[in-house]
Amino acid sequence: MTATARDRLIVGLDIPTIGEAETIVKTLGDDVLFYKIGYQLVFAGGLEFARDLAKDGKKVFLDMKLLDIDNTVAKGVENIVKMGMSMLTLHAYPKAMRAAVEAARGSDLCLLGVTVLTSMDEQDVIDAGYEYDPHTLVLRRAEQARAAGMGGIVCSAEESSAVRKIVGPDMAIVTPGIRPAGSDRGDQKRVMTPADALAAGSSHLVVARPIVKAADPRAAARAILAEMTGAL
């Protein structure tokens, strides 16, 4: 079955409280199927909220960016599978990815390797001690994620086209840093519009502030969905 814009739009619940998250989900209603929950909400009761969303038929992308020794990663993934999550991030280190893939085997959990954060540019990568520029590092990690059997990659839409050539047609390419034309970039340094990101090869788009901080979140979501539909 061909994925629709509604299957591909992931609204980032990057907000401080469960109450505000519940309000956003209620406001967006049936227009939005998929939500991302990251650190901010996780540490405010977001894990139980994620379970509740899954029970209500929503898809949940748990953005935890796991990285630890193999056994710890594997045990964490085993419990996340039991939560009914749809996607989970971990940093794209080969040993961690292999451990996670084995732990998730047989489940519907899509494991995503985080390549280079979209808030990082070349100087940031150099400062972190890497010998590669962001683009080269993203492609190297994409190759490692494919080899490990991961379900997909998280990268900037700027790298989607090159990554798609590496990972093939079936792996997910999830891109944050999506900004509709004319919107504020915030702290993101590598951004792209929804239509351009899909054209570049992204399969799923993560949109947070342009929707959750909008005066009318549902209208903002519908506008983005319409742009995505036109690009599919």
Per-residue pLDDT tens for 23-57? 999 999 999 999 999 999 999 999 999 999 999 99
The residues spanned by each domain of the chain are 5-231
Using 50, 70 and 90 to split pLDDT, how confident is the model at 183? low
CA distances from 225 to 28, 145, 191 (A): 12, 29, 18
Q: One of 7, 31, 68, 196 is an active-site residue; which one?
A: 68
188 labeled part of a ligand binding site: yes
Asked about 184 being catalytic, the answer comes back as: no
pLDDT in tens, 186-224: 554 556 889 999 999 999 999 999 999 999 999 999 999
Percent of the chain with pLDDT over 90: 77
Asked about 68 being catalytic, the answer comes back as: yes
Asked about 63 being catalytic, the answer comes back as: yes
CA distances from 121 to 22, 82, 156 (A): 34, 36, 11
CA 190/CA 207 separation, integer angstroms: 14
pTM value > 0.85: yes
196 labeled part of a ligand binding site: no
192 labeled part of a ligand binding site: no
Q: One of 7, 31, 58, 65 is an active-site residue; which one?
A: 65
Looking at residue 203, its pLDDT comes to 96
Looking at residue 1, its pLDDT comes to 45
When the candidates are 3.40.710.10, 3.20.20.70, 1.10.10.10, 1.25.40.10, the CATH number that belongs to 5-231 is 3.20.20.70
Looking at residue 186, its pLDDT comes to 54
